[in-house]
Structure 1
Amino acid sequence: MYDHIREDLRGFVSADIATRISIIQKDVWIDHRASDEIFRIMNNMADIPDRTNAPALLITGEGGTGKTTIISQMRRRVKNSNSLLMIDMAEDLNLGVKKNLKIELANALGLPANWRSGAQNGDLPSEIKEVIKLRKLWGVAIDEMHDALLRPKQEQRANLSILKRLLGPEYGLVLFCFGTGKARQALRSSFEFERRFYEVKLDDWTEDEKFRSFLLEYEESLPLKEPSNLYSKKMLDTILRLTGGRMDKTIDLIKAAACYAIKNGEEAISAEWLNRASKSPWSY
């Protein structure tokens, strides 16, 4: 029974409505080909022995294509990730202040940012190098990379200089950078950086086997008593029409539609519930 549901979740089918909705609304990681490729690349780069210039990976995609979700899985999926430094360059919305790459690097290392007067140049204090060697760090992951590059020319040059030094023989750190297409454009302004970064672009879903496989696996995480057949032609087309294939919109739509189905006692997602969820996702 309930072989359309993941085995570890089948017991929740008989739970009360509130419990089942809480299961549906939890974040769920579904492996798919694009993410598998990215983690495979990261692990292969992590295995590269010391050389003159370390490898660099740029993962690009517009908001909602799954970059943040991949970052959240790096500690679990990338080998020796405890020795991988994580930096988020997203602007502080509360303060309306753009972050400084050098200061964020120091903060991630637990160093006091007492060199703020020189924050706009590409020099790196000797303390940074010492801590990196002491902690045996092998790489740096930078989220919202475009926010570090779309700066006035002087600061942009300083940040590119920092990246160059991190990749070079002095530090030899592998770089995993995440950003929008604007990050790619900024890096292409320098031929040296364009050739150093290997890029993987996260695209929206389309009607293909990859998307069908994703929908099949996602449906297995929903404690609904009846199969919804999200991967069927009719359901897939409806989902693409309502979401444009954007990852976050797709997941939010399915979650809301599943909640509608449970609340209304139908126990399966239908095109009706998908349309209702698209118009009013929180009215179930």
Structure 2
Amino acid sequence: MEADLNLEHILPARRSLVLLKDKQRISAIYEDRWVNHPQVALLRATARALYEMPPRIQAQCMLISGRAGMGKTSLLKKIELDLEVIRKRNAEACSCIAFSLAPDPTLNSFEDTIGEALGVPIGKIRNGLVSQAFCRLAHLRNLRLLLIDELHNLLNVGRIDQRKNLAFLRALSSPPMSLSIIAFGVDDAVHAIKSDAQLERRFQIYDLPPWKQNDSFRAFLTSYEGTLPLRYPSELWQQEKVNFLLSATDGMTDNVVKCITRGAAWAILDGKERIDLACLEKAIDIPPYHHRFDDEE
């Protein structure tokens, strides 16, 4: 069948999925996958540049902020994989660790979280300063960078604990550690960083705003459509579909993806093999495809 269809709208690595049975294709549609687009490609490149910079006395850091559902955690995991690829290609490359802040991060829980990420206790943090044991361990492991998710949780504790946590971040990015930090969080994370003048100078802040009607959003839709095993192009970049998606999802990446994937499932169920406006309108509901295929196989 593949030879009889023009599948240029699908990425080459995904075209064989078109030959699967409908139930299998729908399962493939719902699988989590990374979709690159210019906005995140720039942030990934910036993170790689930060990782490969020579150490500085005051480490350069970056904060990626945005509303919940804009794909920050997925981006963190992708950046972590990017840095792992660099490390594997170069035996002398520095290492990094990734972790999420606890919902109410006291200094003790901050210490425990980093210890878990390293696989060993790091020693007690005193007055926001890193322990000698942590410094020695970081040196032995050639630790260069920290990836921290949920940075906005810094504001979920009292002012005293907030000040201690911010002091600890300063200590991590200052001598003798001088670790670069790539942090992720909702808008409150920006307020946390800006509440400390020294940290604000060290952090470059990047925003992941909700999608709007622009070329970047159309590029994202085109890239995502390329992963869907539908036999005909959906042309999600068309104006009426762009209008609907932005209206129905408030421009949040997670909601856009849900709408598209459900719309693609409906396209298979309805025999259309392309996502039209009716499929997107039906995407408010999860397609009941499981019992539709009870007699299959």
TM over 0.5: yes
Q: Is the 8 A contact 2:123 2:134 kept in 1?
A: no
**1:94 matched residue in structure 2:** none
Report the Cα distance in structure 2 between the residues aligned to 1:174 and 1:193, rounded to whole angstroms.
12
Partner of 1:139: 145
Does structure 2 retain, via aligned residues, the 8 Å contact 1:13–1:223?
yes
Equivalent runs, 1:228-267 vs 2, <5 Å? 228-267=234-273
Task: Give the Cα separation in 2 of the matches to 1:249 and 1:160.
Answer: 33
Report the Cα distance in structure 2 between the residues aligned to 1:272 and 1:197, rounded to whole angstroms.
45
- Confirm or deny: 8 A CA contact 2:230 2:268 kept in the other structure: yes
Distance 1:90 1:80 in 2: 28
Question: How far does residue 144 in structure 1 lie from its aligned partner after superposition?
Answer: 0.2
Give 1:157 deviation, angstroms: 1.1
Name the residue aligned to 1:281: 286
Q: Do structure 1's residue 69 and structure 2's residue 74 form an aligned pair?
A: yes
**What SS does the aligned partner of 1:58 have?**
strand
List aligned pairs for 1:1-284, cutoff 5 A: 1-78=6-83, 79-80=86-87, 83-91=95-103, 98=105, 100-112=109-121, 115=124, 121-278=127-284, 280-284=285-289
Q: Counterpart of 1:123 in structure 2: which amino acid?
A: L
Quote the Cα distance in structure 1 between the aligned partners of 2:102 and 2:111.
14
Change (3 A) 1:101 1:137: same
What's the CA shift string for 1:137-165, capped at 9, x where partnerless?
Answer: 10111100011343211111111111111
Q: In the TM superposition, what is the alpha-carbon distance from 1:126 to its structure 2 partner? A: 1.9
Query: Which amino acid in 2 is paired with 1:2?
Result: L
> What's the CA shift for 1:189?
1.5
Q: Alignment partner of 1:138: what SS? A: strand
TM-superposed CA distance for 1:236, in Å, is 0.9
Deviations 1:61-102 (A, max 9, x none): 1110110110121233233387111111143xxxxx656212
Partner Cα distance (1:76, 1:187) in 2 = 26
Q: Which runs of 4+ in 1 moved over 4 A?
A: none
Q: Provide the TM-score with structure 2 as the length reference.
A: 0.87
Return the offset for 1:50.
Answer: 2.2
Counterpart AA for 2:218: R
Count of matched residue pairs: 275
AA aligned opposite 1:101: F
Contact preservation (8 Å) 1:61, 1:203: yes
Write the distance in 1 (CA, Å) between the matches of 2:167 and 2:209: 30
**Tell me, which stretches of 5 or more residues in structure 1 are unaligned?**
92-96
After superposition, the C-alpha distances for 1:215-243 in whole angstroms (9 at most, x for unaligned) are 11111111111111101111111111111
Distance 2:154 2:196 in 1: 15
Q: Hey, what's the Cα distance between the residues in 2 that align with 1:76 and 1:189?
A: 31
How far apart, CA to CA, are the structure 1 residues paired with 2:173 and 2:197? 15
Contact 2:102 2:110 in 1 (8 A): no
Gaps of at least 5 residues in structure 2 are: 1-5, 89-93, 290-297
Name the aligned partner's letter for residue 276 of structure 1: K
Distance 1:56 1:19 in 2: 43
Q: Note if contact 1:150-1:186 (Cα within 8 Å) is conserved in structure 2.
A: no
* Preserved CA contact (<8 Å) 1:90 1:143: no
Please tell me whether the aligned partners of residues 102 and 124 of structure 1 are also in contact (alpha carbons under 8 angstroms).
no
